[in-house]
Amino acid sequence: MQRAFQSSYNEESKKNYAEAISDVMPFYSEGNYETNLRIGWLYYLAKNYSASQNYYTRAVNIRPNSIEARFGLIKPLSLLSSWDKVVEQYNNILKTDPQNTQANYWLGVIIYNRKQYASAAKYFAKVVGAYPFDYDGNHMLGWALLFSGRKAEAKGCFERALLIKPGDSSSTDGLNRAAK
Protein backbone atom coordinates (compact mmCIF):
# COMPACT_ATOMS: atom_id res chain seq x y z
CA MET A 1 0.00 0.00 0.00
CA GLN A 2 2.96 2.35 0.61
CA ARG A 3 3.97 2.06 -3.05
CA ALA A 4 0.42 2.82 -4.12
CA PHE A 5 0.34 5.92 -1.94
CA GLN A 6 3.78 7.01 -3.21
CA SER A 7 2.63 6.60 -6.80
CA SER A 8 -0.56 8.47 -5.93
CA TYR A 9 1.47 11.36 -4.48
CA ASN A 10 3.59 11.45 -7.65
CA GLU A 11 0.50 11.60 -9.86
CA GLU A 12 -1.05 14.26 -7.62
CA SER A 13 2.06 16.42 -8.03
CA LYS A 14 1.47 16.26 -11.81
CA LYS A 15 -2.23 17.08 -11.32
CA ASN A 16 -3.16 13.65 -12.67
CA TYR A 17 -5.92 13.18 -10.13
CA ALA A 18 -7.73 10.32 -11.88
CA GLU A 19 -4.47 8.36 -11.99
CA ALA A 20 -3.73 9.25 -8.37
CA ILE A 21 -7.14 7.87 -7.37
CA SER A 22 -6.58 4.74 -9.49
CA ASP A 23 -3.31 4.08 -7.66
CA VAL A 24 -5.12 3.90 -4.31
CA MET A 25 -8.37 2.18 -5.39
CA PRO A 26 -7.00 -1.40 -5.44
CA PHE A 27 -6.40 -1.00 -1.69
CA TYR A 28 -9.71 0.70 -1.01
CA SER A 29 -11.89 -0.61 1.78
CA GLU A 30 -14.96 1.19 3.08
CA GLY A 31 -13.65 0.72 6.61
CA ASN A 32 -10.13 2.01 5.90
CA TYR A 33 -9.60 5.54 7.21
CA GLU A 34 -6.44 6.31 5.25
CA THR A 35 -7.80 5.34 1.82
CA ASN A 36 -11.07 7.21 2.38
CA LEU A 37 -9.18 10.30 3.50
CA ARG A 38 -6.78 10.13 0.55
CA ILE A 39 -9.50 9.56 -2.03
CA GLY A 40 -11.63 12.32 -0.51
CA TRP A 41 -8.71 14.72 -0.94
CA LEU A 42 -8.05 13.65 -4.51
CA TYR A 43 -11.69 14.00 -5.55
CA TYR A 44 -11.64 17.46 -3.98
CA LEU A 45 -8.61 18.41 -6.09
CA ALA A 46 -10.37 16.96 -9.15
CA LYS A 47 -13.34 19.25 -8.36
CA ASN A 48 -15.71 16.30 -7.86
CA TYR A 49 -17.06 17.72 -4.63
CA SER A 50 -19.91 15.23 -4.16
CA ALA A 51 -17.53 12.27 -4.38
CA SER A 52 -15.07 14.08 -2.12
CA GLN A 53 -17.83 14.65 0.43
CA ASN A 54 -18.75 10.95 0.35
CA TYR A 55 -15.22 9.71 1.00
CA TYR A 56 -14.49 12.30 3.67
CA THR A 57 -17.79 11.41 5.37
CA ARG A 58 -16.71 7.77 5.48
CA ALA A 59 -13.39 8.82 7.02
CA VAL A 60 -15.24 10.87 9.65
CA ASN A 61 -17.54 7.94 10.40
CA ILE A 62 -14.54 5.64 10.85
CA ARG A 63 -12.75 8.09 13.14
CA PRO A 64 -15.29 10.54 14.60
CA ASN A 65 -12.65 12.41 16.64
CA SER A 66 -10.45 13.03 13.60
CA ILE A 67 -10.06 16.76 13.19
CA GLU A 68 -8.16 16.32 9.90
CA ALA A 69 -11.04 14.37 8.33
CA ARG A 70 -13.57 16.97 9.47
CA PHE A 71 -11.47 19.83 8.06
CA GLY A 72 -11.18 17.81 4.85
CA LEU A 73 -14.95 17.35 4.72
CA ILE A 74 -15.49 21.08 5.21
CA LYS A 75 -13.72 21.81 1.90
CA PRO A 76 -16.22 20.12 -0.44
CA LEU A 77 -19.17 21.05 1.79
CA SER A 78 -18.19 24.72 1.46
CA LEU A 79 -17.96 24.51 -2.31
CA LEU A 80 -21.34 22.75 -2.39
CA SER A 81 -22.70 25.65 -0.26
CA SER A 82 -23.83 23.18 2.42
CA TRP A 83 -23.34 25.78 5.13
CA ASP A 84 -25.39 24.08 7.85
CA LYS A 85 -23.27 20.95 7.40
CA VAL A 86 -20.11 23.08 7.52
CA VAL A 87 -21.29 24.60 10.81
CA GLU A 88 -22.00 21.10 12.12
CA GLN A 89 -18.45 20.00 11.30
CA TYR A 90 -16.90 23.05 12.96
CA ASN A 91 -19.03 22.42 16.06
CA ASN A 92 -17.87 18.79 16.12
CA ILE A 93 -14.25 19.91 15.84
CA LEU A 94 -14.78 22.29 18.75
CA LYS A 95 -16.26 19.46 20.86
CA THR A 96 -12.97 17.61 20.40
CA ASP A 97 -10.72 20.68 20.54
CA PRO A 98 -12.53 23.72 22.02
CA GLN A 99 -9.55 26.03 21.45
CA ASN A 100 -9.01 25.13 17.78
CA THR A 101 -8.37 28.58 16.34
CA GLN A 102 -9.11 27.65 12.73
CA ALA A 103 -12.51 26.20 13.64
CA ASN A 104 -13.31 29.10 15.98
CA TYR A 105 -12.33 31.70 13.39
CA TRP A 106 -14.21 30.24 10.43
CA LEU A 107 -17.29 29.36 12.46
CA GLY A 108 -17.21 32.95 13.68
CA VAL A 109 -17.06 34.18 10.07
CA ILE A 110 -20.08 32.08 9.06
CA ILE A 111 -22.09 33.26 12.06
CA TYR A 112 -20.97 36.86 11.46
CA ASN A 113 -22.16 36.61 7.85
CA ARG A 114 -25.52 35.48 9.21
CA LYS A 115 -25.54 38.77 11.15
CA GLN A 116 -25.45 36.99 14.53
CA TYR A 117 -22.77 39.34 15.79
CA ALA A 118 -22.86 38.63 19.53
CA SER A 119 -22.53 34.91 18.89
CA ALA A 120 -19.75 35.44 16.34
CA ALA A 121 -17.85 37.60 18.84
CA LYS A 122 -17.57 34.62 21.21
CA TYR A 123 -15.72 32.60 18.56
CA PHE A 124 -13.44 35.47 17.57
CA ALA A 125 -12.69 36.13 21.25
CA LYS A 126 -11.34 32.58 21.55
CA VAL A 127 -9.01 33.24 18.63
CA VAL A 128 -7.79 36.50 20.16
CA GLY A 129 -7.45 34.81 23.55
CA ALA A 130 -5.02 32.31 22.06
CA TYR A 131 -3.39 34.72 19.59
CA PRO A 132 -3.71 38.24 21.05
CA PHE A 133 -1.64 39.83 18.28
CA ASP A 134 -3.48 38.17 15.37
CA TYR A 135 -4.80 40.61 12.78
CA ASP A 136 -7.74 38.55 11.50
CA GLY A 137 -8.99 37.67 14.97
CA ASN A 138 -8.80 41.25 16.25
CA HIS A 139 -10.25 42.68 13.05
CA MET A 140 -13.28 40.37 13.02
CA LEU A 141 -13.78 40.58 16.78
CA GLY A 142 -13.78 44.36 16.42
CA TRP A 143 -16.52 44.28 13.80
CA ALA A 144 -18.60 41.70 15.67
CA LEU A 145 -18.38 43.76 18.87
CA LEU A 146 -19.15 47.00 17.02
CA PHE A 147 -22.28 45.54 15.44
CA SER A 148 -23.25 44.13 18.86
CA GLY A 149 -23.20 47.66 20.27
CA ARG A 150 -20.01 47.16 22.28
CA LYS A 151 -18.10 50.12 20.86
CA ALA A 152 -15.50 50.53 23.61
CA GLU A 153 -14.38 46.90 23.31
CA ALA A 154 -14.46 47.11 19.51
CA LYS A 155 -12.20 50.18 19.62
CA GLY A 156 -9.46 48.23 21.41
CA CYS A 157 -9.65 45.42 18.85
CA PHE A 158 -9.36 47.81 15.92
CA GLU A 159 -6.44 49.61 17.58
CA ARG A 160 -4.61 46.26 17.96
CA ALA A 161 -5.44 45.31 14.38
CA LEU A 162 -3.96 48.61 13.22
CA LEU A 163 -0.74 47.91 15.13
CA ILE A 164 -0.44 44.69 13.14
CA LYS A 165 -1.54 46.20 9.80
CA PRO A 166 -0.99 49.96 10.05
CA GLY A 167 -3.25 51.93 7.75
CA ASP A 168 -5.64 49.03 7.07
CA SER A 169 -8.78 50.62 5.62
CA SER A 170 -11.31 48.23 7.16
CA SER A 171 -9.84 48.52 10.66
CA THR A 172 -9.55 52.30 10.28
CA ASP A 173 -13.22 52.43 9.26
CA GLY A 174 -14.16 50.27 12.25
CA LEU A 175 -12.10 52.41 14.63
CA ASN A 176 -13.75 55.58 13.32
CA ARG A 177 -17.21 54.06 13.79
CA ALA A 178 -16.34 52.81 17.29
CA ALA A 179 -15.11 56.29 18.30
CA LYS A 180 -18.48 57.92 17.46
Q: Express each pLDDT in 63-82 by its tens digit.
A: 999 999 999 999 999 999 99
Q: How far is CA 157 from CA 51, 69, 143, in A?
A: 41, 33, 9
Specify whether domain 1-81 bears CATH 1.10.760.10. Answer: no
> What are 100-138's pLDDT values in tens digits?
999 999 999 999 999 999 999 999 999 999 999 999 999
- Fold match between 1-81 and 98-180? yes
> What are 132-166's pLDDT values in tens digits?
999 999 999 999 999 999 999 999 999 999 999 99
pLDDT of res. 119: 98
What is the average pLDDT score of the chain?
98
Burial of 154 (0-12, 13-18, 19+ CB in 10 A): buried
Q: How far is CA 164 from CA 133, 136, 173, in A?
A: 7, 10, 15
**What is 98-180's CATH topology?**
1.25.40
The pTM assigned to this predicted structure is 0.92
| Domain limits, the chain | 1-81, 98-180
pLDDT tier for residue 180 given thresholds of 50, 70 and 90: confident
pLDDT of res. 37: 98
Q: Is the pLDDT of residue 22 over 90?
A: yes
